[in-house]
Amino acid sequence: MSLYPELSFNVDHGYLEGLVRGLKAGILTRSDYHNLAQCDTLEDMKLHLQSTDYGSLLTAGNEDLTVSLIDHRLKENILTEFRCLRSHSLPPLSTFLDYITYSYMIDNVVMLITGALKQRDVAELLPRCHPLGMFDQMAAVGIARTPAELYSAILVDTPLALFFQDAVSEANLDEMGAEIIRNKLYKAYLEAFYKFCQESGGATKNIMCPILEFEADRRAFIITVNSFGTDLSGVGRSALYPSCGRLYPEGLRLLARAEDYEQVKAVADYYPDYKLIFDEPEAGSSRTLEDRFFEREVKLNTLAFLEQFHLGVFYSYLKLKEQEARNIIWIAECVTQRQKSKIDNYIPIF
Amino acid sequence: MDSFFRSEEMCLVQLFFQTESAHNCINELGHLGLVQFKDLNPGTVAFQRRFVKEVKKCEEMERILRFLENEVVKSNIPIPADFTSETIPVPRDVLDLESRFDKLEQELKEINSNRDTLRQNFTQLMEINHLLKVFDAFLFYPHDRFVAGVIKHERFPAFEKILWRLFHGNFVLRHAEIKPHEEENMDPVKKDVFVVFVQGDQIRGKIRKLCDGFHASMYPCPNNAYARKEMRTNVNTRIEDLRLVLKRTEEFRETTLTAAAANLQEWASKVKKMKAIYYTLNLCNIDITQKLIVAEIWCPVSDLNSVHTALIHGSEQSGSSLSPVVNRIQTQQTPPTFNRVTSFTSGFQSIIDAYGVGNYQEINPAPYTMVTFPFLFAVMFGDCGHGLVMTLLALCYPSLQLIDMLVDGRYIIFLMGLFSIYTGLIYNDCFSKSFNVFGSSWSVRPMFHPHGPWTNDTLHDSGHLHLDPLVSGVYSGNPYPFGVDPIWNIASNKLSFLNSYKMKMSVIMGVAHMLFGVTLSLVNYIFFRNLKDVALQFIPEVIFMLSLFGYLIFLILYKWCVVMKSESAPSILLLFINMMLFDYSSEGTVLYRTQKPVQIFLVVVAVLMVPWLLFAKPLLLYRKHKQLKLVNSLPFNGFFQVNSEIIYITRHCNNLPNCRTSESILSDTEVSMADIFVYQGIHTIEYCLGCISNTASYLRLWALSLAHAELSEVLWKMVLQVALRVTSGMGSVLLAVTFAAFAVLTVTILLVMEGLSAFLHALRLHWVEFQNKFYKGSGYKFTPLSFDRMRDMQ
């Protein structure tokens, strides 16, 4: 690591950073959302999106316009942009971008395992995997019977092998086990990514660490909330909490002991940022806890664009774009299901 | 002719036409290309407009056209470029074309999907064929538990690895690459044939699952050799059949596409026109009875007749009984700025528009820029050799078609080249060498003994010799007739002579250019009947500039004209500085006798102009504002003889339907009183300081021309001269090499780089120093509906 990474940053990543900042300018604004929310049919939405950076994304092809088609096109769009960035990138940016894809790979693996447990056909499952997390050996995941087999036979060649050390066990795979594998993998993944960002230093560290800390804490909260009513014990839970968040170590210990939602809320009260999230929303707003977490995430990600010469913009851009896709899908769903009252529940970005 | 100097006079016109004839009328107007439609429903969102369905239909058709074009291009069928039949799209064409396109698309999709299935079958058969061919080689001994299939080449290593990991080597795997066969242009994917021999059915099931995951296609393979042979012949006959069918399908597809390609261009232009027409109709209002369409258009007053004829023509074509009504309406809205351009003037106009589109009817700097821009460029670029190359380049552009952008600017480049030749001749500079056409006015011979002080010894002893014009015969008394005397090219004080000359010259040109700009502001004031601005703005500005910088020019010219001894001649720089400081004590700053009173008078006048400029206009406005208040407090307004202008305003208001009342005008002025003071203050400071800094800014003319001359001299001395000095036979070879280097460097550095920099500086001098004296540039451009322009955009 050189003394002033800003000096040489543009040599390797200047073009891509410029590109991603240009792409960021195409993210839909509040007025775009406002216009979209006024639409009565998907055709109207299509007309509106035409005047944005999406251009003729939805007009190509003459299939009937459905929400799933929009979803598919949006995902494809993100994928194209990401592939373009990835194929032009140099280390350390390429490693950084690979790290981003690992989280999707984890999700895909777990989805394939649960799919295989339910005796689904692989050919039916594959198209439902997130395209950013595709890898060669993916198709064979369903064959494995135990996590150990999964690791030693299939995932050992993939980048995910690094995260697998804690998750190896001889127990048979079941649905609960798959969930636990997901969380263990995620824990290892987040910690590794956090370490990578910390080692990068400079602005990358300043930007990415808060985002990843938040991500880790969000997982800890959600694991805790979701574990109520299952047979996952406090000890079992604490093995799943990522240890790179702001909750570590005291907050995590408290969370492990929590028995109901009120106690989780009490833990969050110690942290001003999370207190805001857990506070009762004002009357009339129908935001769920998840929505408020997303809102906070969007806020953190928009901050990334305030600094230059760091890799965080790539992560943030991808996440914001995903949020945008979620927003558009939400609006589209509301439009097709005639739920105009809920249409404003999207999370505006800029 | 008036429209050459300022933008075209525009008028707002209301059009009424029947719904049936709207299509033809707008079509005619689109061909005319002189009419800008105003959006009459600005509050309505795009998808709530009247003709949005039709626009969507057009978009759908465009999509199909794109699809067709893609298919045509993919199959390498040429699209005939030109179409002659210029047909008018009528509404019923939409339905016609739509059904036609739909049918074509259906048909083509069907063919494509057929072809794809056929091809897939064909590849499958080919793969089986290959598998059978290599199977025997893989088989060591009869074995009945195996999985055979074909997998993508790049996936094979991962597949093999996973097999190893899962079954720990309890299997035999054989594979072979499929050789790309003859007519396989359609399927360039590399594939491998593989056969896995294993023990036990359970493992076989797992492998099958794995194959599914890896998208490997598995094929059944008979066990005994005879059955395999039979299967092979069977497969081979089927391949032959398929090949024939595939060929037929291809042929059919090609004929369909060729038929479509012939019409593609015409359809595309038709659809585009239709879309534009519906888009325009969306801007219009439709009467409640649905019978009438109301449009508001901006169009040049001088073209009203042609617009009218076009409309009548359009309604005749549609067979409508009523002719469209054209109704010119009064308006207070600012019309768009429309400057007619030709291919020659368009480049210069776009230079001006890049800074800002002029206000409506404001004086247009473009006609003057056509001369001053290339001239100022040439002052910096002055070298007739380089200018000649540039001119020739500009002349060759149409045939070369180098870059589209340069083609648009070829007239600019051409003029820049011509002017560079001219200034180059004045500088007497051609690739840093001089021409001696008329014979120099200086002569060395008279310096020698009988007349002058020099002897042969002087020549040997001293390094530098001084020609003294006072010795009779050394200077002929008549200056060199045109441009700089060539003798300066060999003089050692060439640089200091040229620097002084060029510096003074750029100040003179700069002040003249700026004075011209200020004069243009006078033309603007007079045109807009803004007579008080003449007194309050133009006069103090001109006096300020003339009394300081006009005097500076006078000093320069005076010093040039009056012969003085170089030792005793006063420095103009010091003289000017002392004039500002009222310092007349130092010696040697006197040019003429009455200098002191004149200079003191001029400085005092210039200083007095500042408060005049600063306070007079705001105070006058303030007085008027108070009077207006007085009028407004009276019970009824309009007929008190306070100020003729106010009467005019109120009367005017009563006549117009949606005009602002005097109250609203008053509240506007109330808000902006402080603004006016601040604005005038800023303007004054900007102008007075600007006079000084802008004059200094024109010194870039000198600096860049110096840099250009020096660079070309360096290039001559360091590159070409090296080879010219070699006297042996190798000199010619060396000359060829160095000339190549000289030519490349001349073009890249002196022509392109220096040209660009001189261009940018000339641009700046026009945008900043010249235009800020008179040009507001806050109008908006006239954007007519024009089919021709649409076609150019493609």
Interchain contact, B47 vs A121, CB within 8 Å? no
Q: Which residues of B touch A154 (CB under 8 A)?
A: 162, 165
Q: Which residues of A touch B60 (CB under 8 A)?
A: 62
Q: Could you tell me how far CA B414 lies from the centroid of its own chain?
A: 18
Residues of chain B in Cβ contact (below 8 Å) with chain A: 45-47, 52, 56, 59-60, 63-64, 105, 155, 158, 161-162, 165-166, 206, 209-210, 212-215
Q: Which residues of A touch B47 (CB under 8 A)?
A: 39, 43-44, 47-48
Mean pLDDT of B620-640: 68
Worst-scoring range by mean pLDDT, B131-135, B294-298, B516-520? B131-135
Among B46, B165, B212, beta carbon nearest to A153: B165
3-state secondary structure of B73: helix
B643-662 in b/e form (b: 16+ CB < 10 A) is eeebbebbeebeeeeebeeb
Among B46, B52, B158, beta carbon nearest to A137: B158
Cβ-proximal residues to B663 (8 Å cutoff; 6+ apart), any chain: B632
Could you tell me how many residues make up chain A?
Answer: 350
How far apart (Å, rounded) are the C-alpha atoms in residues A183 and A177?
10
3-state secondary structure of B11: strand
How far apart (Å, rounded) are the C-alpha atoms in residues B47 and B59?
14
pLDDT of residue B406: 59
Worst-scoring range by mean pLDDT, A278-282, B233-237, B325-329, B611-615? A278-282
Q: Which residues of A touch B162 (CB under 8 A)?
A: 137, 140, 153-154
Neighbours of A129 (CB within 10 A): 20
Residue written as token pair 């380049």: B393
- B643: confidence class by pLDDT, cuts 50, 70, 90: very low
Mean pLDDT of B638-664: 42
Residues of chain A in Cβ contact (below 8 Å) with chain B: 35, 38-39, 43-44, 47-48, 51, 56, 59-60, 62, 121-123, 126, 136-143, 152-154, 156-157
For residue A46, the chain B residue with the least C-alpha distance is: B47
pTM equals 0.70
Treating both helix axes as pointing N-terminal to C-terminal, what angle do B494-527 and B700-715 enclose, rounded to 10 degrees? 140
How far apart (Å, rounded) are the C-alpha atoms in residues B3 and B34?
15
pLDDT of residue B133: 78
How far apart (Å, rounded) are the C-alpha atoms in residues B554 and B579?
14
Worst-scoring range by mean pLDDT, B34-38, B520-524, B698-702? B34-38
Top-confidence residue, B735 or A283: B735
pLDDT score of B711 more than 70? yes
For residue A57, the chain B residue with the least C-alpha distance is: B63
How far apart (Å, rounded) are the C-alpha atoms in residues A348 and A330?
12
Q: Which residues of A touch B52 (CB under 8 A)?
A: 47
pLDDT score of B649 more than 60? no
- Mean of pLDDT over chain A: 84
Interchain contact, A122 vs B213, CB within 8 Å? yes
ipTM for the predicted complex comes to 0.71
Give yes or no for a cis peptide into B300 (omega within 30° of 0).
no
Q: Which residues of B touch A35 (CB under 8 A)?
A: 45
How far apart (Å, rounded) are the C-alpha atoms in residues A134 and A131?
5
Among B166, B214, B215, beta carbon nearest to A153: B166
How far apart (Å, rounded) are the C-alpha atoms in residues B285 and A208?
54
Mean pLDDT of B6-16: 88
Q: How many helices (H) and strands (E) does chain B have?
A: 27, 9
* Among B165, B170, B203, the residue to mutate for chain A (most A Cβ within 10 A): B165
Among B60, B162, B212, beta carbon nearest to A122: B212
pLDDT of residue B402: 54
Among A39, A136, A143, beta carbon nearest to B155: A136
* Among A49, A124, A134, A136, the residue to mutate for chain B (most B Cβ within 10 A): A136
Q: Which residues of A touch B158 (CB under 8 A)?
A: 136-137, 157
B183-201 in b/e form (b: 16+ CB < 10 A) is eeeeeeeebbbbbbbbeee
Phi, psi of B170 (to 5 degrees): -85, 50
Residues of chain B above pLDDT 70, percent: 89
pLDDT in tens, B364-413: 999 999 999 999 999 999 899 999 999 998 888 666 555 555 567 888 99
- A62: confidence class by pLDDT, cuts 50, 70, 90: low
Interchain contact, B52 vs A47, CB within 8 Å? yes
Cα torsion A176, A182, A187, A191 to 10°: value is 170
For residue B168, the chain A residue with the least C-alpha distance is: A153
- Mean of pLDDT over chain B: 82
Interchain contact, A59 vs B59, CB within 8 Å? yes
Cα of A329 to nearest chain B Cα, Å: 20
Q: What are the strands of the beta sheet with B217-218, ordered from one edge?
A: B171-177, B191-198, B146-152, B217-218
* Among B209, B217, B282, the residue to mutate for chain A (most A Cβ within 10 A): B209
Please name the amino acid found at residue B478. Answer: N
Q: Which residues of A touch B102 (CB under 8 A)?
A: none
Top-confidence residue, A296 or B228: A296
Interchain contact, A157 vs B161, CB within 8 Å? yes
Inter-chain Cβ pairs, chain A and chain B, closer than 8 A:
60
Worst-scoring range by mean pLDDT, A41-55, A95-109, A289-303? A41-55
- What are B72's two structure tokens? 């045509």
pLDDT in tens, B439-485: 888 888 888 877 777 877 777 877 788 888 777 788 887 889 898 99
Interchain contact, B45 vs A139, CB within 8 Å? no
How far apart (Å, rounded) are the C-alpha atoms in residues B665 and B649?
9
For residue A51, the chain B residue with the least C-alpha distance is: B46
Most confident of A52-61, B28-37, B103-112, B422-431: B422-431
CA distances from A309 to A20, A195, A320, B181 (A): 12, 19, 19, 51
Interchain contact, A154 vs B212, CB within 8 Å? no
